[in-house]
Amino acid sequence: MSVIEWLLNSDPSIRWQAMRDLSLAPAAEVAAERAKIATHGWGATLLAAQSEDGTWPADPRFPEWPTLRTLLLLHDMGLDPASEQAKRAVGRVQKNVKWLMNITQDELPKDEDISWWHKPFFAGEVEPCINGRVVTVGAYFGVDMHPVVDRLLGEQMTDGGWNCDQEIGSTRGSFHTTINVLEGLLEFERATGGSPAVTAARARGQEYLLSRQLFKRLSTGEPIEHDRKGGPVWTQFSYPAGWRYDILRGLDYLRHAGVAPDPRMAEAIEIVASKRDADGRWALGIMHPEEVIAEPGITEGSPSRWNTLRAMRVLKWFEQPQPKYGASPK
């Protein structure tokens, strides 16, 4: 079985994207396959697990977190936001889900900003690494995210990135936070048409990644082995990644954003290509225990359809014929 056949012999959420991005199937066939996500396979299972109160109750004390993670996975799967199933699921979230909804006022920390306590889910939180993801799902599923986007625009740092630790004194962007915000702003632009300010902020954020070759220190050019909190190396590919950055996530964002292949991506591309196994597949490098299982039955180190799909389309995008760097396209 070829790698393409292996991807096509899968869940509708994988199959329709492989048809669109790799096998170039007719648009009508792709759309028909995508429509199955709401009623078949992994997508239907996730939708059925939602509670009447709008949450996905994997964490009864903080149900807003599995709710965010599940909505992000449904977004990545490509659940049609116009489908009745999507409208029902998102409507429940809008109506009922709030931040820290199961936490009483007496339980709140006394030395932190808790202005977001009991605020509606799509009003966002206070940290850009979280709000970027809220914008991703909100914009995709048709929620007005202008207030949260305005906040994110005001939080961009002078180096073009964003950082959740800005409020405690950080003066430099973070790869983790920046990728979350960039994904959200891109989804917002696609949903609303965006604005010059959003487009400019995304361009600065993309340059933050590119100027660092997607995984290096700007000051020394040395690879960043792991973040300052001791997180996993960025050459190990997880899915879902949650708030975490890695090279494959960064490249797939740039591809999705329509950024032209750039020589500054080349070393990161080589790393992605080097991870391909003898069967032409990519493994799941890391599983984050709090994230929703995106591929039932998978274990760390085993072939991952999500990683294989993303890696193959990134390599295909980068290897397409391009004008010489700096030249105008014909």
70: number of CA atoms within 13 Å, CB side? Answer: 25
User: Tell me, what's the pLDDT at 324?
Assistant: 41
Q: Is residue 267 part of a domain?
A: yes
Q: Residue 313: give the domain boundaries.
A: 235-321
- pTM to 2 decimal places: 0.93
Cα–Cα distance, 282 to 274 (Å, whole number): 10
5: number of CA atoms within 13 Å, CB side? Answer: 3
Q: Is residue 266 part of a domain?
A: yes
Q: Is residue 264 part of a domain?
A: yes
User: Tell me, what's the pLDDT at 265?
Assistant: 97
User: Tell me, what's the pLDDT at 327?
Assistant: 34
Ranges in the chain, pLDDT < 70: 111-113, 226-232, 321-330
Q: Is residue 45 part of a domain?
A: no
User: Tell me, what's the pLDDT at 242?
Assistant: 93
User: Tell me, what's the pLDDT at 326?
Assistant: 36
> How many independent structural domains does the chain possess?
1
Q: Is residue 285 part of a domain?
A: yes
Q: Is residue 275 part of a domain?
A: yes
User: Tell me, what's the pLDDT at 330?
Assistant: 29
CB atoms within 10 A of CB 277: 10
Checking phi first, is residue 118 left (phi over 0); if not, alpha (psi -120 to 50) or beta?
A: left
Q: Is residue 274 part of a domain?
A: yes
